Each structure stands twice: as C-alpha cells, then as structure tokens.
Amino acid sequence: MYDANIRGTLIKGNKTYHQITEDICRPLETSPNYWWYIALFLSFGALSIGTWSLYMTFNEGLGTWGLNNTVSWGYSIINFVWWIGIGHAGTAFSIFLLILGQKWRTSINRAAEAMTVVAVFCAGIFPIIHMGRPNIAFFVFPYPNDRGPLWINFNSALTWDVAAIPTYLMASAMFFYIGMIPDLATVRDRTTSKVKKAIFGFFSFGWVGSSKDWLRFETLSWILAGLMAALVVSVHSIVAMDFASSILPGWHTTIFPPYFVVGAILSGFSMVLTIMIIIRKIYKLQDYITDSHINAICKILVFISLIMGMAYGTEIFVTWYSGNEYEMFTFFHNRITGDYNSAFWIMVTSNAIIPQLFWFKKIRGKLLIVFLISIIINIGMWFERYVIVVTSLSKDLLPSNWADYTPTNVEVGLFIGTLGFFVMCLLLFFKYLPMIAISEVKGVLKSSKIKN
Amino acid sequence: MKTSILGIFEEEDSLISALKKIRDKNIEITEVFTPYPIHEVFKIMKRKSKLQTAAFFYALYGLVVSYGYVYYTSVISYPLTYGGKPYHAIPSFIIICFVTTICSAIFFSVVTFFIRARLYPGKKPNIVDLRITDNAFVILINTQPEMTLSDIKTINSLLMKNGAVEVIEK
C-alpha cells in the first residue's frame, strides 16, 4: 500500500520505550511548578463564585436569573450546549481517528478524553439546576410512581436528551478509564512510594499486560469506538432537536442536527488545541506533541470551519429563498442587523472567517497565533449558542410577547464556576494521571522510527 | 523445582522472530507479556476474542427491551395523545431506542470485559516481571513434568539466540 509520509515524525528525539515512560510519568513524580498552584488557586476562586451562584439559585430560586416568560432559556442552556460541544472533541478525536487508523492521535487522545468527561459533567449540571427544583430532578426518568401509571413523554426531545447525555457521560468515562488502566499499571510498577503503589494498584485492576488481556482490551476499544462514533453524532443531533422540534423562527430548521454536530467538533477541537499547546509548553512534551500534531489539528479546523461557514450561509439563503416573513425577520432584522447583531457578527467572524488563517503554513507554525485563534473559536462558538437561544426567543411570532434578556451576576457566576471546575479537574488530571497514553505512544514508536 | 522460564526482550521485532522460532519447534508458549498490544503476537498465540459477538447480542437486547418498554408505557399502560401523534409513534421512539441500544451494548461489553479478563479494583497483580509495563517484552514458558534438563537448556538457548537480553528461571 502506498504510505504517504504526510504526518512527519510522530515522536521526536529517538526515544526508547523506557524514556517514553520516564517522560510521561515525570509530572506525576515531581512537584508542580508555581504556575500550577497559581492556576489551581484561580480555579478555586472561580469555583467559589460558582458555588455562591449555586447557593443563590437554590436558596432564592430561578428569580435570581435574568429569565422571563419570553426568554425562558438563557445562559444556562447556552452553557449547556457549549459544554456538550466541547465534550464532543475528546470522543471525536479518539474514536474517529482510531477508526480511520490515524496514529498521530496517540499523543493527544488521553487529554482530549479527560476534557470530554469533565466538559460533559459541566454540561449536565445546567439542565438540572435549570429545573429550579433539582431535588426532584429524577422525575425526568421513567419509573413506576405514585401518580398512577403516568410515564414521561417519550415524544419530547428533552426526554431524548435525558437518555443521550447520561449515556454519553457513562460511555466517555468508561472509554477514558479503560484506556488508562495499562498506564495506571505502569505507574504502579515504577513508583517507590507505598501509598502511591496501593492507590495505583487498586485502580489498575491487577493489569499485567498479557496477550489475552491486550486482545480483549483492543477488541473492547474497537467496540466502544464503533458504538460511540454513532453516539457522538446522535447526542449533539438530539441537543439540536431540542431546538429544531419547536416552531420558533430560527430554530425550526432541518439543518440543525448536522450543523450542531459540526459546531461541536469545531469548538471541541479548538479546545483540544488550546490544551495541547499549554501541555506541550509547560510540561516540555514537544517530542510527543510535535509541530506536525498542531499542524494536523489546524488543518482539521480549517475544514470544519468551512462547513460552519457553509451552514451559516445555507441558513440565511434558505430563509431568503423560502420567503417566510417570520424567518426573514429573525435572520435579517434580528440577527444580521438588529439588537443582537454584534453577537451574530462575532459568531461569523470567529467561527467561519478567522480560522481561515490556518490555510497559511506560516500561521500554523506560530504557536502563539494558533493558541489565540483556538481561544477565539471557543468564544465564537459560545456566541453561536447565544445567537441561537436568545435571538429566537426574545422576538418570537407574537410582538406583544417580545422581551429582552440580560443575564444576572448569578448566571454569569454559574458559568464562571463551571469554567473553574473544568480547569481544576484538568490541573488535577495533569498532576495525578498520565496525560499522554503511554502504551499507545509506545505502540506507534516503531512506525515512527521506520519513518525516521 | 523451577517451573517457568522467562525470556526477556527489549525490541518488538526480536520478540516476534523468537516467538515464531519457538512455535516452529513445537514448544508450548504459556503467555506473552508486552507493554502495548501487538497484533503479530495475537496471531502467533492464536488468540481470538468473541467480545464483538457478545456486544451484538447486548445491543439487540437493549433494542428489544427499550422498544418494548417504550411501547408498553406509551401504548398499553397509559395511552396519552401528545401533539396529535399516534400512541405508537415510531419516529419518536427510534431515538430513545437507538441511544439505549448503544448504552446497553457499551455497558454490558465493559462488564463482560472485566469478568472475562478477571480484572477488578484492588486485584493483586500477578506480574512476572515489573519491567513489562515499562519496556520489557516477556515470553513465559511453563516447564512440563516430562521435560528433561536438556529440553530446558534448549529453550534457554533458543531464547538467547533469538535476541532475549535475559533469561530467568523461576
């Protein structure tokens, strides 16, 4: 088979297997830099703001939020969709690239999967607190109850979410953890600390690396990958159907499911890029997360961003072509030129225009610019959800219903809280778990050497 | 009496060539331990997994149970019209059933994996050499009662000749 050498060397520095173990386990065995403590302190600060906001929400109720009868979905649903989107990357990265046989994923998939689990957890918080009475959140599950044989509505897209999000969280957490078992065993076998040996021994499930275990491990990885590939696509399609199955102008479109899936992958991949650049720089893992890895992610982002641009364009074109006056109003007078035009233009610029800079090799080679663009995309994707949720709700079919929406400090605080939680979990992950899949990197070392 | 021989290798290629040669001599290899999965080893050791077949049936189970459940609740137990849809609204049921099918397949496959591989939290690892999870590829051959000393010596030299960096008798 023709083997095109387009990826360059996967692992630089002519490493041995032992060196790989040493390099990746180093952060676990040395005390972290001062920046780690500063970042942890800041994330605690953000988490405390979130905790205060959560207390206000539970103690005083949803009246502390800026929602009204018209805009009944605000920040929390925007954040829910944004976090779910970010949570798509880890799985998309590991699974699609595993299925496609892309070896360069090995240096990146672990951190991306960790990010997925935390992001989906952050996302899951929002619908629960949005109910206002989280103590009875279990009402969303179908169970025999004392209201007679009355069941939940299986025709509702919100119920589909209830099935999809916990399944996705469970599946990504299992995929992340099972993939990590051999690496936990590596840490167990090299540590000299008794406490660490006991902890890693407990969590590595007695792994010994026999051919029987490896075969089952590989088979399970493929099964999970195959099933989760379908799950990834379906989860964000279902989130899109929360909107698309309504009759609101701007939401009631058939393009929503694929448009949301692509948007999720765009925001998730750009978050992967942000985190990879940070890991690479701080932990000096340039030999594993090479320029060609960054380059490859940038190229994927250009492609996805083009699809996003196409989706934005299609929405507007179909609105104009349909001649539906309500749709025309929502898109042309509310989004493009109206009260929310700044959010709309931030969305278009950040998601469809700025990522086009990645066409240039020079830009892809400049880490600082790549880092900034990855952050810009994430901000842009947040605004995309803001545009979708707020513009359509604030001015619906009946002008007497129209109302504006301004988030309160409590809502902003909740968002900051989840950001703090996300950063805190990732920092703990960097310190206490192997952030690159050791066994998988060793598996591609041979082919990397052949290329050399 | 020592019951097993460990051949320790540092490279994948030498492990594979040694495995092939040992197999050709009709010596039974008990197990091979590696730091990462190697497909050649699975082939030589004739390892096969039926997990994918099991996963298919778990998926089927999830599909049947979830469809039955949704049908029972929406059509038999409490028929209620939502938005003019029929009680048996197949398009709405597809999504729930799709997700629960995947959920069932994933959950039960993982459980089966742990049961079959006998891995559980806190299990004491029965590891033959601590370097396996780092950089060692190990061939384990259990000695049989009918083996003579010269047979064991032959195995030792076979391992050494084919690139083993160390041979340990345990």
CB–CB contact A208 B134 (8 Å): no
Work out the minimum CA distance from A189 to partner chain B, whole angstroms: 6
Work out the minimum CA distance from A97 to partner chain B, whole angstroms: 18
CB–CB contact B123 A149 (8 Å): no
Domains present along chain B, CATH in parentheses: 4-35+135-169 (3.30.70.120), 51-116 (no CATH)
Chain A nearest-CA residue for B110: A220
pLDDT score for A409? 93
CB < 8 Å to A185, chain B: 125, 133
Those of residues 239-278 in A touching chain B at CB distance below 8 A are 241
Task: Give the nearest partner residue to B123 out of A151, A205, A224, using CB atoms.
Answer: A205
pLDDT score for B115? 92
Q: Within 13 Å of residue B4, how many CA atoms lie on the same side as its CB?
A: 15
Range A349-358 average pLDDT:
92
∠ CA A260-A263-A267, rounded to 5°: 140
pLDDT score for A82? 92
Separation of alpha carbons A434 and A24, rounded Å: 6
Categorize the per-residue pLDDT at B67 as very low, low, confident or very high, splitting at 50, 70 and 90.
Answer: very high
Q: Tokens 């006991």 sit at which residue?
A: A198
Token pair in block for residue B84: 């003019």
Helices (H), A361-437: 361-365, 367-386, 392-394, 409-432
Q: Residue A448 pLDDT > 70, yes or no? A: no
C-beta atoms surrounding A167 within 10 Å: 23
CB B167 within 8 A of CB B8: yes
Kindly give the interhelix angle for B90-116 and A211-244, rounded to the nearest 10 degrees: 160
State the average pLDDT for chain A.
87
pLDDT score for A450? 57
Those of residues 401-440 in A touching chain B at CB distance below 8 A are 439-440
A141 at the B interface (CB within 8 A)? Answer: no
CB < 8 Å to A149, chain B: 73, 77-78
C-beta atoms surrounding A259 within 10 Å: 24
Q: Tokens 């597809």 sit at which residue?
A: B94
The pLDDT tens digits for A274-328 are: 988 988 888 888 888 888 888 888 998 999 999 999 999 999 999 999 888 888 9
Q: Residue B106 pLDDT > 90, yes or no? A: yes
Range A90-100 average pLDDT:
80
The pLDDT tens digits for B72-91 are: 988 988 888 888 889 898 98
3-class secondary-structure state, position B162? coil
- End-to-end alpha carbon distance in chain A: 19
Q: Residue A10 pLDDT > 80, yes or no? A: no
pLDDT score for B63? 95
CB A354 within 8 A of CB A377: yes
Q: Residue A148 pLDDT > 80, yes or no? A: no
Categorize the per-residue pLDDT at A8 as very low, low, confident or very high, splitting at 50, 70 and 90.
Answer: low
User: pLDDT over 70 for what percent of chain A?
Assistant: 96
Distance, C-alpha A353 to centroid of its chain: 21
Q: Within 13 Å of residue A241, how many CA atoms lie on the same side as its CB?
A: 18
Separation of alpha carbons A405 and A394, rounded Å: 7
Task: Give the nearest partner residue to B82 out of A155, A164, A201, using CB atoms.
Answer: A155
Residue B95, CA distances (Å) to A122, A164, A218, A248, A436 in order? 24, 9, 29, 22, 35
Chain A nearest-CA residue for B48: A215
3-class secondary-structure state, position A145? strand
Work out the minimum CA distance from B79 to partner chain A, whole angstroms: 9
Domains present along chain A, CATH in parentheses: 17-451 (1.20.1630.10)
Burial class (CB in 10 A: 0-12, 13-18, 19+), A331: buried
Those of residues 145-164 in A touching chain B at CB distance below 8 A are 148-151, 153-156, 159-160, 163-164
What does the radius of gyration of chain A's CA atoms come to, in whole angstroms? 23
Burial class (CB in 10 A: 0-12, 13-18, 19+), A83: buried
CB < 8 Å to B70, chain A: 154
| Residue B139, φ and ψ in degrees, nearest 5 | -105, 125
Separation of alpha carbons A114 and A434, rounded Å: 11
CB A47 within 8 A of CB A417: yes
Q: Residue A1 pLDDT > 50, yes or no? A: no
A167 at the B interface (CB within 8 A)? Answer: yes
Categorize the per-residue pLDDT at A408 as very low, low, confident or very high, splitting at 50, 70 and 90.
Answer: very high
The pLDDT tens digits for A185-239 are: 999 988 888 898 899 989 989 888 888 889 999 999 989 988 998 898 898 899 8
Separation of alpha carbons A166 and A136, rounded Å: 17
CB < 8 Å to A211, chain B: 31-34, 38, 41-42, 45, 47
The pLDDT tens digits for B110-138 are: 999 999 988 899 888 888 888 888 888 88
pLDDT score for A203? 92
pLDDT score for A451? 53
Categorize the per-residue pLDDT at B56 as very low, low, confident or very high, splitting at 50, 70 and 90.
Answer: very high
CB < 8 Å to B8, chain A: none
Greater confidence, B112 or B2?
Answer: B112
pLDDT score for A7? 61
Chain A nearest-CA residue for B85: A155
**Please, what sign has the CA dihedral across residues B151, A212, A438, A106?**
positive
CB A406 within 8 A of CB A67: no
CB–CB contact A149 B78 (8 Å): yes
Token pair in block for residue A96: 């699609």
C-beta atoms surrounding A107 within 10 Å: 26
pLDDT score for B46? 82
Kindly give the interhelix angle for A409-432 and A109-130, rounded to the nearest 10 degrees: 150
Q: Residue A2 pLDDT > 50, yes or no? A: no
